Amino acid sequence: MGLMLIVVPVAIMALSVAPVFEHHNFARRAAAEAARTLVLNPTESGHLDARNLVTTLAVGHHIDPGLIDLRFCGGDLCGLERGSMVSVEVVVRVPEVSAFLPIGDMTVTAIHAEQIDPYRSRP
């Protein structure tokens, strides 16, 4: 009986934290993929392509796209000149972290930056 008083709360905590790590891994991957998409398509439509890619990734991970906030270069549209840095910040809200504990919602954030290649030729 004493062992159950230790094992059950630890198991509940482990199961409660898992969605936070899942959403954080998604945010890291989405930020990296969106930045890479924008670097490979440094046009005005690149921002839209990156946003659509994050939405597609969210649907594939069973995350509601309405819980995601995507910011390019600190909230503005990125300058897309050769050699400039592109940064993408993905903020994901994790709704009701635990069904067992009344913790509430949490947010996880991931930022990824890449440089637009200054020497690559463009079609």
What is the per-residue pLDDT for 121? 65
Low-confidence ranges of the chain (pLDDT < 50): none
What are the helix (H) ranges across 1-123? Answer: 2-40, 44-60
pLDDT at 21: 87
The pTM for the full model equals 0.80
> Which has the closest alpha carbon to 61: 110, 19, 119?
19
